[in-house]
Amino acid sequence: MRAVVQRVTKASVSVNGVLISKINAGLLILLGIEDADNTDDIEWLSKKIANLRIFNDENEVMNKSLLDTEGDAIVVSQFTLHAAIKKGNRPSYIKAARPEVAIPLYEQFVLKLEQDLSRKVGTGVFGADMKVELLNDGPVTICIDTKNKE
């Protein structure tokens, strides 16, 4: 499982001009799922994101988590996070999980993050052509891969 976590002042997701999710200060999480992902990846990634200390404290030091700030979150599925570009110029998405595998894992991740944060999490629409708007705060952008925990 791969995630691009962006600290935002605000973010929203629309499909066909219809607003699906909108948040103020918090995290926009782009989530890519591969066939090898499982509940262990969900557990680890959700806890890591909920506790990631990337929000400023009273001294302007990144020392607070989403839990500490009671910020909001949106999770957007993004299979392109598993793009392989080793050969040629056209990305291959062979590692990205097919919808029948990815959708249940995506939904489980959203539920787990809601449990870890004790609040509702916004989402996009799996497989839709989404328009994602955000105001990146910092900018702070963190890439996380559950198969490469660095």
**Which positions are catalytic?**
78-80
Distances (CA, A) of 89 to 84, 93, 96: 10, 13, 18
Q: 10 Å Cβ neighbour count for 22?
A: 14
Helices (H), 10-137: 39-51, 66-69, 99-117
- Whole-angstrom distance, CA of residue 13 vs CA of residue 139: 19
Decide: helix, strand or coil at residue 59: coil
Query: How large is the angle between the packed helices 39-51 and 99-117, nearest 10 degrees?
Result: 40
- Whole-angstrom distance, CA of residue 66 vs CA of residue 69: 5
Is the distance from CB of 123 to CB of 20 less than 8 angstroms? Answer: yes
